[in-house]
Amino acid sequence: MTAIHDAPGRLCDPQEHTTAARIERGNPRWLVIWGTHSRRYFAFPRFAAPPGTIIAAPGTAELLDGMRHAELTTASSSSAQQQP
C-alpha cells in the first residue's frame, strides 16, 4: 500500500480530482475542488451568493444537492428583494 507521502510529485486521489473537474465543467457558476486531506468535495459559488457560501460534502450527490439548494435559495432571496 502506498501512502500519500510516498509518491512525491504525483496527484493524490486522481479519480476524485477528475470528478471535481467534471462537476465544475457541468456547473460553470461554481468552482469545485476535492480536499485530499479532508476527503470532501468543496464548491464555491462564482455568482452573487451570501458571503461565506461554501458547499462541502463527502460525495457527489450531496455536493450537487447542496449546490442546487444554494442556487435556489439565492435566486428566491434575490427575487424577493426586487419585488416592490
Region for 13 from its dihedrals, namely left if φ exceeds 0, alpha if ψ lies in -120 to 50, beta otherwise: left
Whether pLDDT at 1 is above 50: no
DSSP states along 44-63? EESSSPPTT--EEESSHHHH
Q: Fill in the DSSP letter of residue 3.
A: -
Is residue 7 a part of any domain in this protein?
Answer: no
**Residue 84 domain-assigned (yes or no):** no
For the cut 90, the answer to whether the pLDDT of residue 75 exceeds it is no
pLDDT band per the 50, 70, 90 thresholds, residue 46: very high
How is residue 80 written as a grid cell?
A: 424577493
Q: Quick one: pLDDT at residue 10?
A: 77
Sheet holding 40-45, edge to edge: 30-35, 40-45, 55-57
pLDDT bucket at 67, cuts 50 / 70 / 90: very high
Q: Output 6 or 71, whichever has higher pLDDT.
A: 71
The answer to whether residue 83 is domain-embedded is no
Q: Return the C-alpha cell found at 41.
A: 468535495
Predicted confidence at residue 76, as pLDDT, reads 79
Number of domains in the chain: 1
Residue 54 has pLDDT above 80, yes or no: yes
Domain that holds residue 26: 13-78
